[in-house]
Structures are given as structure tokens and as C-alpha cells.
Amino acid sequence: MIRQNFYQKLLTFFFLILAGSPNINCWSNPIFLPMVECWVQIPNSRCPDSNISQLFLVLFALSPSVTISNIANHSILQTGFLVGQIRPGIVSVSVSLDGGPYTNAAINGLNWRYQLPAQAITGTHWNIGSKHKISVTAMDGVGNRSTPQVLNVVKGTNHDTDGDGFPDVILSDVLTNSVQGYGLVFLAHGSTGIPSSSPDSILTDGLVGSSYFGDRIGAGDFNGDGYADIVIGSQAAPGYTTFGHVYIFHSSGQGGIASQNLNSGGSYNSFIKGHTTGNRLGSFVMGGDVNNDGYDDAILTSPWSGGLGYIFYSQGTAGVPSKDLSTGAIADITYNFGNNDDFGFQSAIGDINADGYTDLVVSAPTYNAQQGRLYIFISNSGTIPGAPQQFLVGPTSPAPGCASGTGCSLGAGPFVLADFNGDSCADLAVGGSSFNTNQGIVFVFHSNCGSVTPYSAAPNATFIGPALATCNGGTNCSFGVTVSTGDTNGDGYFDLLIGSHLASAGYGNVYLFQNSGAAGFSNVDLSSGGTATSVLTGPSAGLNFGIFTSLQDITGDGMSDVLVSATGGTGQVYYFKSAGTSGPGNQNLSAGGVATSVLSVPFGQSFGNSIARNQSDQDEMIGLSVSNLEIGLGSNFTSIK
């Protein structure tokens, strides 16, 4: 093909010379008109008849081509930008979204960059979980255009704080009320496939104790500029009065999130204070666009004071306004059902009925003596209702079910909303780590795409944890303490990553279960011969390996990589790059297995106690004692009630 292209250009060159045509630079192309100077033969260095190097480049260069560096087909999009490279001689890169017109990307040397829909910049936006087609083509100096590269993607949470096209790792570090807490950003480096091993940005309130700053952390684009911002909870502030504070820090653009110490001149962009003592605002935080205006809103829930939920709408380019609920300010939406079931322990968003609007699910894990239930709120054209359309309770099977013994504590750990069977409706995967006296279980419910009762009472698939005898003290596996979702093999279907931080005699395991396709997952019982696609095991006992997990495509190859926290001791976060077929494969860190990289901090405390994850895959809330519910961290468990 290359040789044929060369001979075609050579024949064209000699034909033009024999014909005596000086206008060898004129061409037509379906996207752009040629430069006016070339048409009317005004000297211009980019016209072939004015620059011999351009002439030879036109005649003898290879066919135009363009490389997309940060996404692949079936990628989960966690950035606001496309980036890539071009070869010499390419004069433009053009991008089409969902079959629309081609528009130009910015070119800098041999690199190009294109901003995806961002409400404040492009006037358009994509909703969480929505599916899109991206086409990219390049053009050389004579109008030859490359065959468009077409990629299908799913919109995820933006984690790219500096707009380089690669999602960053956003997590926190706080152990007890007696130490200073932090929010941390580790920049992704797409060229190496490895995030920074130490933090690039450090956020703190600068207070040694009394606030729990960084107990929860999340991400979102609150001002609609295409860059990821950060929301951080501080649920014991101020001074351990437990009103609770929430802070939002905006990205500065390509400079990312600037480090801030709020006790020494640092600043935030938004501040929200809880209504009264005991509310513990900031116990759970996340960002998400629930009113469909293209700007992420602050979604804050707390299982304290009978269970609370708040939604604060972004006001556009200024982001979420600061509010002090203790002096009479109010949220845009407030939930206070007073059911004393720990409503607000966890939350997640997604489009459950495929109507183009974001829905909300909130857990209440102590309902009915730890059976647990979920509140399902289906959006009414961009307005989350004041009451749920459905209550989904912990199933009574498989035996012994969630309604007996210690129950399941359904939704005490994280739960995720993701389209597991490809019908564009958000399905649900939720853990019950106290099932069968702390063996643990995870349920998968497929959405029927309805707006009244979208989930059936019986799950479509169940994952049962390992045998209790193999776990910590022979009595506690806590399988399902964390559930994450992503696409580890790039097949376009969401997989499940399930943590069991007390498995393998307390070493801790993380289990990857890859999706089988449109049928979704099959039942797996790890205690009766069932197996996972791959298993990761911690380096030693007592480190809580697997207490927090996340799936995130850091390298831009279309396959989600694995992040695992081990909060014991000083704490470490392990990064495992997905290799495709079986994700990261089996890695036993206590027996010669290796992580791709290990993230750490010098603060000497429970590093990695919260990870900002996909909006339908949010950060966990572990280590709290609320009502009668305790989800412990083994010997490192700390009650804060």
C-alpha cells in the first residue's frame, strides 16, 4: 500500500510538470478548504510551490496517520480530553463526536489535544454512564485524509486534574482524630503507565486532630471546565463538635490541583458546614450531575442523626456555593427520614432507567437488625424526588440469607451502579460483608429499565466469600467489604473487583470476576470450589489489604487497572496494571508476586483509607461505628462514635 501510494504521487508530480502547471498545490478536501494563499499563488511557506521541502513532503510522505494515546475502543472515559501524536507533515487533526461535524484539535509540535464536552467551555456535556462514538482523522499538507479511527466509549467520572488525558489517583490519609488528615493527588503518567509514587498535590486543614479531614474524598467537575476537581469530607469538624465540614478544591487547569494548607494561608473554592452537632456532614461525599445542567453537584450523606442526605447544586462556572447550614442556609435537596436505619452510609448514582437523567441510590445497612436495604430514587427529568420509588432489602437466599443471624449489613460497604449486561440501564452490585457470620456475599441485580420498581427482589447473580475456616481467626472474611467495577480486558463489559481484607488468614484477598457478556455474571461460591478470574493477596497479615479498591484505566489502553489499599501500619496503595485477558493475573505479594508500583506517603498513618472512584463506583466508608453497625479493620479498627 505504501509503495502504491508513492508511485501514485510520483506519476502525479511528472504529469503536473509536463502539463506546465504551476498550481501543483491546489487540492480539494471534504473537511477544510485549502489556504487562500495556495489557491491564488501568493507565496506561503506551507504551499508546495513555495517550499521545496513541502513539495517533497507532499509527494513522498507516507499516508497521513494519527495516534490516540489515552483511550481505546470500549474505554471508560475518566478524562475531559483526548490526546495523541502525529507524524511530521500532518497539518490538522479533526474529531467528530457521535456522528457530528469534524472540528479541529489543537496541535503542539507532534502532539495534539482535544477538549471533550464540558459545559462551561463547549456548551455541551455527557451524562454519567452514557455511551458515545468518537471519530478521529488527520490530514496532511495536500489534503490527504486518514481513514477515521472510530472508538466507542462510556462516560465515567473525570479524574484528570491536569487535563493531560490520563486519570489521576485521588485518595486520602487519616487514621484517628489525633492526627492531621490529608487529601492527595498522584498524577498519572501515560508515557510510563505508572502513577507518581509520591503525591504531586497535598491538601490539608492543617489541624492535628479534631476534624478527620480526608476521612472521605471524591471527584467531580463542579465548574464544568473539563478538569477534575476534588471534594473532601471532614466529619468531626470543627474541633470535634461533629457538625462536619465539606471542602471543594477546583483544578487550576493544566496546573492541576494546587497544594493547600488551610491552617497556613491555603484556600478552598467551596465550603459547607453541617446543621448541628452530631450530623457529621462529610461522612460520605461525591460529585455528580443530578439536575442535568452539565455541572457536577455535591452529593453528601451521613448515617448519623437518624440518617441524612443533602444535594447542593452547582451554580455553573463558580461551582457549588459555600453554605453554613448551622446558621440557616439550606441545601437544594434534603433527606431526613428519621428511620434510624443508618440511611446515608453509602451512595451511588447512575442512569437506572436509561432516560438520560441521573438517578440516586442510598444505603441503610442496619435496617431490620442488619438485614439492610437500599433507597432507590429515580429522577423526574432532572429532579431527584423527595421519596424513593423502591426499597430493595437484603435477599433471604442463598441460605442463611440476610434476615437471620448477623444479617448482611447490605450496603455497609460500597455498592456500584454499572451496565453489566449491555442494555444501557445501570445495574447494581452490592456487598453484604456480615453474611453468614462475616463470610460475606455480593449480590448483582439487573435493572429492568423501569421507573417504579427497576430491581427485582431476587438477585441475578451472587458471589459468596471463601470458607470461614480459611480467614482471619477462622471467623471473619468480610468478603464484599469493598466492590469496584471497571473493564479489565477491554471487551466493553463491566467486571467486578471484590475485596476481602481478612481472607487468607488475615493477609487479605482481592478477587477479580470478569463479565461473560450480555448474560452478565454467573453465580460463584468461593467456599465450594468456585474460582475468580484472578486473585491478589497481601504481603502479610494484619495490613487490611483489600479494605479499599478501585478500577481505573491509568494508562489509557482501554483496560482498567487495579488499585488496592492496605491501611495497616503506615499504609500503602498497590497499583496493578491490567494485562488484558485476566486483568493483572494472580499476584500473591507474600509469595513472590509483585505489584506494578507501590504508592506511599511519609506521614506515617493510615494511608489509602479512602479512594475517589467512578461516580457509579464511589469511595468506601469503613471503620465507622454507627448505631449497631460496626465494620472493623481487624486489629486496627477505630470507633469514632
CA dihedral for 617, 622, 626, 632, sign (positive or negative): positive
Dist CA 392 CA 135 (whole Å): 41
User: Is the distance from CB of 140 to CB of 231 less than 8 angstroms?
Assistant: no
Q: What contacts 283, CB < 8 A, 6 or more positions away?
A: 215, 216, 233, 235, 244, 301, 302, 303, 304, 344, 621, 624
The separation between CA 181 and the C-alpha centre of its own chain, rounded to angstroms, equals 22
Grid cell digits, residue 288: 455528580
Nearest to 576 by CA among 592, 557, 591, 554: 554
Q: What are the angstrom distances between the C-alpha of 494 and each of 190, 292, 382, 427, 548?
A: 22, 24, 26, 10, 18
pLDDT of residue 446: 98
Distance CA 197, CA 183 (A): 15
141: which 3 cell numbers? 499538507
The cell numbers describing 386, all together, are: 423527595
The strands making up 373-377's β-sheet, listed across from edge to edge, are 347-350, 359-364, 373-377, 390-393
Q: Which residues pair with 233 in a beta bridge?
A: 216, 246
For 435-483, give the DSSP string.
HHHHTBEEEEE---S-SS--S-SS-SEEEE---GGGSBTTTB--BTSEE
Determine the pLDDT at residue 29.
36
Q: Sign of the CA dihedral 352, 232, 331, 316?
A: negative
Task: With residue 3 as reference, give the H or E element that holds it.
Answer: helix 2-19
Low-confidence ranges of the chain (pLDDT < 50): 1-6, 9, 11-40, 42, 58, 616-641
For 526-574, what is each residue's pLDDT tens digit? Answer: 999 999 999 999 999 999 999 999 999 999 999 999 999 999 888 899 9
DSSP 168: P
In contact, 37 and 29? CB cutoff 8 Å: no
Dig out the grid coordinates for 470 from the structure: 480459611
Q: Are 476 and 486 in contact (CB under 8 A)?
A: no
d(CA 134, CA 628): 49
- Cα separation, 309 vs 214, in Å, equals 19
Cα separation, 345 vs 374, whole angstroms: 10
Domains in the chain: ranges and CATH? 2-60 (no CATH), 66-155 (2.60.40.10), 157-336 (2.130.10.130), 395-447+458-641 (2.130.10.130)
Cα torsion 497, 498, 501, 503: sign? negative
pLDDT at residue number 430: 98
